[in-house]
Amino acid sequence: MRVTVIGAGIVGLATAWWLAHDGHAVTVLDEAAEPGSGTSYANGAQLSYSYVAPLAEPGVLSNLPKYLLDRNGPLRFEPRADPAQWAWLLRFIGACNAGAAARGTASLLRLAFASRDALYAMLAQTPMQFDHVRNGKLVVQSSAGAMRAAEAQMRLQATLGCEQQALTAGECLALEPGLASIRDRLTGGILTPSEEVGDCYKLCLELARVLATPEFGTTLLLGTRVERLVVEAGRLRAVRTSKGDHDADLTVLAAGVAARALGRSAGVTVPVLPIRGYSITAPVRASNRGPRHSITDSARKTVYAPLGGALRVAGFAEIGTRGPTPGRVEALARETDAIFPGACDTGSATTWTGLRPATPTSLPVIGPTRIQGLALNAGQGALGFTLAAGSARLLADLVAGRAPVVDPVPFRP
């Protein structure tokens, strides 16, 4: 089959890998000059297979006033006169209940584990270098209540196949002496030895390299902006681009936050809203003062990942902000210096902001749409690096008509 994939981020490129692997003739379109230069560029670097619980959970609603009022908090919501934002929020609020959160966690965990297997299968066939290590993840807590909630989630996840252990504050410090600066507020942590980190942008470049080899024979058309999708009589007729029309037997929309507008041009609702986040990447100066594992500071909602010779620090979630909020990357640098003093050179850090393509339930939308010849693979939100390989594998299974790697129903567009 001739397949067009729109988007050369981690989701689109992984999709191209699995479809080309199945023998399809794949063309990937992206408006950018380089693969991986959208949200996949400098994310938190976590392959966080055991931390996939949806953002919508019962506790969020009681904190909503705080998110509206606290302009400097880790989560921020700015209401806008945008019907799509309100439709998204209503669905999000509808998903803020224990039942939906537990079902969402179970579906996402299955997709995450399939994703780990899919990534390992890809690497076994086509080795790719992207600073990929399994260094484990330690999520530290700063109040007794937060630690109890984390232990309850750990017990739930144990029933779903996760291997995690609760550590006391002392055990956290023994494992990560660099955390001594937050000794006073540390109440414990959850350790997940199987978690991994990697450089998502480097993996995108490696995927583009592999896809261009004769074994995969994929065409990558960069600098090609998709203007809209042309539908006739319920069938996708063409992908209209800045360089002319493309027709294919199947088009997969994997354009991250742009999937909503492009889907709309075909009359398909893609329930994706951008959630802005920020990162800094600072060269490591004294590795003995920095983290060995990937660390999440749960109270501050900040992640720290040792990546190559640097520390990648990511955080903040903003809905509805019109552009980057001043002071965010400086705040990440200050937090880094406070939690791991002297570990890295935050003064010469590179900084970045990106938009998570988030659905109200945190479940991505994967599979065929009601428009013949159009499929979606979008909405991986805060977990696109983690979920990309499994999402791509699931889409390829559905296209091939073989037994899907996970139950596709929760992810149906």
Ligand X SMILES: Cc1cc2nc3c(=O)[nH]c(=O)nc-3n(C[C@H](O)[C@H](O)[C@H](O)COP(=O)(O)OP(=O)(O)OC[C@H]3O[C@@H](n4cnc5c(N)ncnc54)[C@H](O)[C@@H]3O)c2cc1C
Kindly list the residues in this chain that would bind ligand X in the complex (CB under 6 A).
Answer: 6-12, 29-32, 37-40, 43-46, 48, 225-226, 254-256, 258, 262, 277-279, 314, 354, 356-357, 378, 380-386
Length of the chain: 413
Query: In the bound complex, what is the minimum distance in angstroms from residue 324's beta carbon to ligand X?
Result: 11
Query: In the bound complex, what is the minimum distance in angstroms from residue 139's beta carbon to ligand X?
Result: 13
Both structure tokens of 384: 């696109």
Nearer to ligand X, 346 or 386 (CB): 386
Rounded Cα distance, 343 and 345, in Å: 7
Rounded Cα distance, 88 and 271, in Å: 7
Tell me if 45 sits within 8 A of 385, measured CB to CB: yes
Query: In the bound complex, what is the minimum distance in angstroms from residue 265's beta carbon to ligand X?
Result: 10
Rounded Cα distance, 186 and 296, in Å: 12
Nearer to ligand X, 164 or 241 (CB): 241
Query: In the bound complex, what is the minimum distance in angstroms from residue 180's beta carbon to ligand X?
Result: 25
Nearer to ligand X, 7 or 368 (CB): 7
Neighbour count for residue 173 (Cβ, 10 Å): 18
Instruction: Classify each residue of 40-78 as buried b or exposed e, where b means 16 or more C-beta atoms within 10 Å of its C-beta.
Output: bbbbbbbbbbbbbbbbbbeebeeeeeebeeeeebbbbbe
What sections of 212-258 are H helices per DSSP?
A: none
Nearer to ligand X, 47 or 169 (CB): 47
3-state helix, strand, coil in the chain (%, to 5): 35, 25, 35
Rounded Cα distance, 336 and 371, in Å: 48
- Helices 98-125, 144-158: axis angle to 10 degrees equals 60
- Rounded to whole angstroms, the maximal C-alpha distance in the chain is 65
Rounded Cα distance, 293 and 197, in Å: 9
Nearer to ligand X, 176 or 199 (CB): 199
DSSP annotation string for 72-110: TSSEEE---S-HHHHHHHHHHHHT-SHHHHHHHHHHHHH
Nearer to ligand X, 48 or 187 (CB): 48
Nearer to ligand X, 39 or 141 (CB): 39
Nearer to ligand X, 187 or 391 (CB): 391
Rounded Cα distance, 215 and 51, in Å: 35
Query: In the bound complex, what is the minimum distance in angstroms from residue 357's beta carbon to ligand X?
Result: 5
Query: In the bound complex, what is the minimum distance in angstroms from residue 129's beta carbon to ligand X?
Result: 18
Query: In the bound complex, what is the minimum distance in angstroms from residue 267's beta carbon to ligand X?
Result: 17
Nearer to ligand X, 169 or 262 (CB): 262
Bridge pairing between strands 137-141 and 294-297: parallel
Query: In the bound complex, what is the minimum distance in angstroms from residue 30's beta carbon to ligand X?
Result: 4
28 SS3 class = strand
Query: In the bound complex, what is the minimum distance in angstroms from residue 204's beta carbon to ligand X?
Result: 8
Nearer to ligand X, 255 or 343 (CB): 255
Query: In the bound complex, what is the minimum distance in angstroms from residue 273's beta carbon to ligand X?
Result: 13
